[in-house]
Amino acid sequence: MNIRLAKKEDAYSILELIRELATFEKEPDAVIINEDYLVENGFSENPSFTCYIAELENEIVGMALFYYRFSTWKGKTIHLEDLIVKQNKRSLGVGKALYKKVLEFAQKQKVKRVEWVVLDWNENAITFYENSGAIVLDDWRTVQMTEKALNKYLK
Amino acid sequence: MNIRLAKKEDAYSILELIRELATFEKEPDAVIINEDYLVENGFSENPSFTCYIAELENEIVGMALFYYRFSTWKGKTIHLEDLIVKQNKRSLGVGKALYKKVLEFAQKQKVKRVEWVVLDWNENAITFYENSGAIVLDDWRTVQMTEKALNKYLK
């Protein structure tokens, strides 16, 4: 297995992984970004994210996408937005290798915290995270306001 | 009331608000950043965040600090990290004015979503957010790994 930083040329494969996961989660239409958007925002000056990809026999089978956030208590932190492994390439250690790679990046950057979210019913993932030393916060809830809702509110 | 973008010179007042909130939440020692760090990361080239402050009679009484994130489904989004109003200046509309200002910023930037977190027992806040058109997601949990934990994991 080879893990490396993603390049512009990987945008199509990255988008395929994103779409595969969205389809699996029964929300295929939720992905509104396209390849150009991904290239423009991830592989230009001041990129919005960093992405590692995992290759098996020259096939891209997984990705981990993350970026910086800013905690008013801890300063710069890293947010792991997506860790995706192709359905038919699970249980080969790809996910764990990507996970470690992101944590190593965080370690090098000396950030005080790495953060991500998990679905509360995803027990396998939660057990894995907790065994690695992460903590699941039970009392915080994510709040989202869509563009449509905020346009309505500000009208 | 005057709401404006924060400047470098406001860093001390911003940090005071951050510390006041941490003390209120019984975690005064959790704030490890200092004024220099705030200036360096927020008021230099490629700042890590944007901050609005609210003034009442030339006193800084509130702040809203936010930054971009990247959704693999929606593209660029905005994360509202902190919205703080001084304890003795509550109920004057400062929080709502800052909230609207951040949403207006998001509207101008045409991001598809604004996101933040709330404590699940904070019913007043949740009601306010929901009345404004935001949605509280019940099934996602925040996961955090501290620098100490990841150093241990990667050892």
CB atoms within 10 A of CB A105: 18
Closest to B137 (Cβ–Cβ): which among A104, A138, A144? A144
Phi-psi region of A125 (alpha: psi -120 to 50; beta: other; left: phi over 0): alpha
Half-sphere exposure of A136 (CA within 13 A, CB side): 19
Which residue, among A70, A107, A115, would best test binding to B if mutated, counting the most B CBs under 10 Å from its CB?
A70
For residue A70, count CB atoms less than 10 angstroms from its CB and return exposed for 0-12, middle for 13-18, buried for 19 or more: buried
Single-letter amino acid, residue A91: S
Q: Looking at chain A, which residue has its C-alpha nearest residue B150?
A: A103
Spell out, as residue ranges, where chain A has pLDDT lower than 50: none
The end-to-end CA distance of chain B, in Å, is 52
Per-residue pLDDT tens for B21-32? 999 888 999 999
Per-residue pLDDT tens for A65-81? 999 999 999 999 999 99
Interface contacts (A, B; CB < 8 Å): 222
Residue B137 within any structural domain of the chain = no
Q: Which residues of B touch A113 (CB under 8 A)?
A: 144-147
Given the cut 0.85, state whether the ipTM is greater than it. Answer: yes
Per-residue pLDDT tens for B45-100? 999 999 999 999 999 999 999 999 999 999 999 999 999 999 999 989 999 999 99
| pLDDT at B152 exceeding the cut of 90 | yes
Number of domains in chain A: 1
What is the span of the domain harbouring residue B67? 2-117
For residue B19, the domain's CATH number is: 3.40.630.30
Residue B17 within any structural domain of the chain = yes
Q: Given 3-state DSSP classes, what are the helix, strand and coil percentages for chain A, each rounded to the nearest 5? A: 40, 35, 25
Q: Which residues of A touch B50 (CB under 8 A)?
A: none
Min Cα distance A27 → chain B (Å) is 10
Closest to A147 (Cβ–Cβ): which among B65, B79, B112? B112
